[in-house]
Amino acid sequence: MMNLITSFLITITLPMLIMLIALTLSKKMINDREKSSPFECGFDPKSSARMPFSIRFFLIAVIFLIFDVEIVLIMPTIIIMKSSNLMVWMMSISFFIMILILGLYHEWNQGALQWEN
């Protein structure tokens, strides 16, 4: 029992001691304006380092991820077809593809797939 308590104390105190040492050593002593500003070849930046993010790019990335997940879900259905009831398989895959088509139609109607604007 004493061995268990000793090992427990070592596993708790040793990481805490290492984290405390790392925290004290990593503190910055002097806040320098040049060190905290964005680096642009040694000169002051001409414009803001934070450029506005295009929401269009974000929507395209989300749609791409959704279609990737859909493909990952559809791929195993071909292998499952041989070992399951054909009628149940056909109904389930038809239902799944119908949901995907309805989602695509909704995205199309909302204008998320218009690239020119």
- Enter the pTM of the model: 0.47
Torsion of CA 58, 60, 64, 70, to 10 degrees: 100
Per-chain mean pLDDT for the chain: 80
Domain boundaries, the chain: 55-110
Q: Distance (Å, rounded) from C-alpha 90 to C-alpha 88?
A: 5
Of residues 68 and 47, more confidently modeled: 68
| Mean pLDDT of the region 83-97 | 91
